[in-house]
């Protein structure tokens, strides 16, 4: 519904037009338009005093008619700060000055306060039928909003009201003082602290006091005020066990940290529920100056771990905060070789994260073991190689006390890890060493070449194949060669490289008699199947231990393009039975692959040939409820 001419004229402030229209008997001054707004609401909203007066002069006007959101003309005037219009409405007896909207449950007073309209607030507070303690939908009172916004004079006005509730919290448990402290409104905080009916240490629903919140947000002036009170506990814990000092440290508020540390009643080493102390948090966040302040104290333990056994130095190392690491390493009471819960040393963590500067720091010390493995058997070099941190790998390889071929618990060398992850430059570095075995398999029998082929890292495969001491056809414990793995995973470029070698068997089966072609057909890798079929030394009809040929497996899985390729061969038997007496056609029918079924029937494969259980393809299809078949 659009607006009437009267609504447009009133909202635009056109008094002469409004007079003309109101002089007609066929014009309804209360007719609503878009969003349920009357001409009077539009005039009040846009601050047109003249048109508002004209409309209010109508005998049949409804001055309090709300729109679809429950907003009355007075509500709009108060919200937008139209003082004279607010006065016009408040002179009337037929309006409700405390009406709430339907969106946020806010009254005209709440919106006037929210937007800092001081005179409108005075006018509304002058009414006996306006309740200044009435909260909105979030539990926020007019005083709460004034404190939050830092409207000092409005706060004074409200605090001067006899029945005001100065300590009423919102739904999150935040009082007006809490909110003023959080926002750093120092003068407003002073107004609350002068009262005896305000609790300066009242926590919110997370057990965070005004001091906690002010410390967290860096409100230095407010923190000073609150710390000057005898009824404020500077060590009060929030729900997570964190003190105001902890909060200040976390956010790096150095001056506020100093304020706390000057006190005799402060606990500077109080851990939270997870065992994290203020120093721990400063180290994790990289706040060097704050860490210095804490380390000057005799009552701070620089080696205190959290519940996961991670010390401040551990976190500083992991996060790459070199300045904090240097500070902590300069102390005699910090162990640079202390392992974490999983046995990872600080050097290991630095190597893992690629923090070259810190790796250098640790390696220059005589008290850090550069080859110490974690609980998984991975050394710092192993982890740096796996992550591809070339410069860090170089640092370790220059040392005599580091084994570049050391196995982890799975029997994998640093070269294996780098090859698997595709870090070509690290692989080159390791292959230049005489003490690195490029052909060493892990516990499953996977060589570095096997790992690179499996992941499809073509350039690394080339590097390894360029060596005379790498066996390109070495199977793992299941009999799967690098070619087998590359074919099964669809690594076409790697398959091409390997098939270009004369020293491997392209038809070599695994322990279940499944060849590379068999697996490529099974997974539907059409291009790889073509590569194998182009060779004379590959049997395209070779069954596995269950008697299933590449065609059988491709048909069972609905690999239509592969089935076409295999049916184009003269040396493929299209109705060959597996060990259970089931043909490719029957396996396709059983699994509902109609396209494959049509291909096989086109090869004059009998649809009535029964398996060992006497079931024909139609019976198999019926059993699987395949209506097309």
In this prediction, residue 616 carries a pLDDT of: 59
pLDDT 10s digits, 277-309: 999 999 999 999 999 999 999 999 999 999 999
Alpha-carbon dihedral sign for residues 243, 249, 251, 255: positive
And the tokens for 521? 């057909």
pLDDT 10s digits, 530-553: 999 999 999 999 999 999 999 999
Is the pLDDT at 625 greater than 50? The verdict is: no
Is the pLDDT at 628 greater than 60? The verdict is: no
- Would you place residue 611 in the very low, low, confident or very high pLDDT band (cuts 50, 70, 90)? low
Question: Domain limits of the chain?
Answer: 1-131
pLDDT 10s digits, 209-218: 999 999 999 9
Is the pLDDT at 629 greater than 60? The verdict is: no
DSSP annotation string for 314-370:
HHHHHHT-HHHHHHHHTSTT--TT---TTS--HHHHHHHHT-HHHHHHHHTSTTS-T
Please tell me the least confidently modeled range out of 9-18, 339-348, 457-466. Answer: 339-348
In this prediction, residue 607 carries a pLDDT of: 57
Is the pLDDT at 606 greater than 90? The verdict is: no
CA angle, 584 then 589 then 595, to 5°: 85
- pLDDT-above-90 percentage for the chain: 91
Among 563, 547, 489, residue whose Cα is nearest residue 523: 489
And the tokens for 596? 């494959």
pLDDT 10s digits, 42-90: 999 999 999 999 999 999 999 999 999 999 999 999 999 999 999 999 9
pLDDT 10s digits, 179-236: 999 999 999 999 999 999 999 999 999 999 999 999 999 999 999 999 999 999 999 9
440 CB neighbour count, 10 Å cutoff? 15
Give the SS3 label for residue 14.
coil
CB 346 within 8 A of CB 339: no
Give the C-alpha distances (Å, rounded to integers) separating 141 from 67, 69, 82, 181.
23, 20, 22, 16
Angle between helices 424-431 and 414-421 (to 10 degrees): 150
- Would you place residue 168 in the very low, low, confident or very high pLDDT band (cuts 50, 70, 90)? very high
Stated as kind and residue range, the H or E segment containing 221 is: helix 220-227
Q: How far apart are CA 211 and CA 227, in angstroms?
A: 8
In this prediction, residue 610 carries a pLDDT of: 56
pLDDT 10s digits, 540-589: 999 999 999 999 999 999 999 999 999 999 999 999 999 999 999 999 99
pLDDT 10s digits, 124-162: 999 999 999 999 999 999 999 999 999 999 999 999 998
Instruction: Look up residue 466 and give its DSSP letter.
Output: T
Q: How far apart are CA 482 and CA 504, in angstroms?
A: 10
Q: Burial, 469: exposed, middle or buried (Cβ in 10 Å; 0-12, 13-18, 19+)? A: exposed
Q: Which residue has the tokens 């322990």?
A: 511
Among 257, 250, 255, 311, residue whose Cα is nearest residue 286: 250
In this prediction, residue 608 carries a pLDDT of: 57
Q: Please give the CATH topology (third level) of the domain spanning 1-131.
A: 1.25.40
CB 346 within 8 A of CB 337: yes
Among 354, 341, 346, residue whose Cα is nearest residue 388: 354
In this prediction, residue 34 carries a pLDDT of: 85
In this prediction, residue 627 carries a pLDDT of: 47
And the tokens for 79? 């919200």
Q: Look up the pTM and report it.
A: 0.82
CB 431 within 8 A of CB 463: yes
Is the pLDDT at 613 greater than 70? The verdict is: no
Q: How far apart are CA 266 and CA 366, in angstroms?
A: 37
Stated as kind and residue range, the H or E segment containing 510 is: none
Among 399, 374, 401, 398, residue whose Cα is nearest residue 386: 374
And the tokens for 385? 């190689």
Is the pLDDT at 617 greater than 90? The verdict is: no
């Amino acid at each position: 519904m659009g607006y009437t001419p009267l609504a447009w004229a009133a909202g635009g402030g056109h008094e002469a037009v409004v007079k003309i229209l109101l002089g007609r008997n066929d014009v309804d001054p209360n007719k609503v338009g878009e969003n349920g707004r009357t001409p009077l609401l539009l005039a009040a909203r846009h601050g047109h005093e003249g048109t508002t007066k004209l409309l209010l002069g109508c005998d049949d006007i409804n001055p309090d008619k709300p729109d679809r959101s429950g907003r009355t003309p007075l509500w709009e005037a108060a919200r937008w700060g139209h003082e004279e219009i607010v006065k016009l409405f408040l002179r009337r007896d037929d309006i409700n000055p405390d009406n709430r909207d339907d969106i946020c449950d806010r009254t005209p007073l709440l919106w006037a306060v929210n937007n800092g309209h001081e005179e409108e607030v005075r006018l509304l507070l002058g009414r006996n039928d306006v309740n200044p303690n009435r909260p909105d939908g979030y539990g926020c009172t007019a005083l709460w909003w004034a404190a939050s916004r830092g409207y000092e004079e409005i706060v004074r006005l409200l605090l001067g009201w006899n029945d005001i509730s100065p300590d009423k919290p919102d739904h999150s448990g935040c009082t007006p003082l809490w909110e003023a402290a959080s926002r750093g409104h120092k003068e407003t905080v002073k107004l609350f602290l002068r009262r005896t009916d305000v609790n300066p240490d009242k926590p919110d629903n997370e057990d965070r006091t005004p001091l906690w919140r002010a410390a967290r947000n860096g409100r230095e002036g407010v923190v000073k005020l609150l710390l000057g009170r005898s009824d404020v506990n500077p060590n009060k814990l929030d729900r997570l066990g964190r003190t105001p000092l902890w909060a200040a440290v976390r956010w790096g508020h150095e001056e506020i940290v100093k304020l706390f540390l000057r006190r005799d009643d402060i606990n500077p080493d109080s851990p939270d529920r997870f065992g994290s102390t203020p120093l721990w948090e400063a180290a994790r966040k990289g706040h060097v100056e704050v860490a210095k302040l804490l380390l000057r104290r005799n009552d701070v333990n620089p080696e205190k771990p959290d519940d996961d056994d991670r010390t401040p130095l551990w976190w500083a190392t992991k996060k790459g905060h070199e300045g904090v690491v240097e500070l902590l390493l300069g102390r005699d009471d910090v162990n640079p070789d202390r392992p974490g819960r999983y046995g990872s040393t600080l050097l290991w963590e630095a190597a893992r994260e690629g923090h070259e500067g810190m790796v250098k720091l640790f390696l220059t010390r005589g008290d850090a073991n550069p080859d110490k493995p974690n609980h998984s058997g991975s050394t710092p070099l192993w982890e740096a190689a796996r992550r591809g941190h070339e410069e860090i790998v170089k640092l370790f390889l220059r040392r005599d006390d580091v084994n570049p071929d050391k196995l982890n618990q799975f029997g994998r060398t640093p070269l294996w890890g780098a090859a698997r992850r595709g870090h070509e430059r690290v692989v080159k570095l390791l292959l230049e060493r005489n003490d690195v075995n490029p052909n060493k398999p892990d516990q499953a029998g996977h060589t570095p070449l096997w790992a690179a082929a499996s992941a499809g890292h073509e350039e690394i495969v080339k590097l390894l194949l360029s060596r005379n001491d790498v066996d390109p056809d070495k199977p793992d414990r299941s009999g799967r060669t690098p070619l087998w793995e590359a074919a099964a995973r669809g690594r076409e470029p790697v398959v091409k490289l390997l098939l270009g070698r004369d020293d491997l068997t392209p038809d070599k089966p695994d322990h279940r008699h499944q060849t590379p072609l068999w697996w490529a057909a099974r997974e539907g890798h059409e291009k790889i199947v073509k590569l194998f079929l182009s060779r004379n030394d590959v049997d395209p009809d070779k069954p596995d231990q269950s008697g299933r040929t590449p065609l059988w497996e491709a048909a069972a899985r609905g690999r239509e393009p592969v089935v076409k390729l295999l049916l184009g061969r003269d040396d493929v038997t299209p109705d060959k039975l597996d060990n259970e007496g089931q043909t490719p056609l029957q396996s396709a029918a059983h699994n509902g692959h109609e396209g494959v079924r049509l291909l096989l029937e086109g090869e004059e494969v009998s649809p009535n040939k029964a398996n060992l259980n006497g079931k024909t393809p139609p019976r198999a299809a019926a059993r699987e409820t395949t209506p097309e078949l």
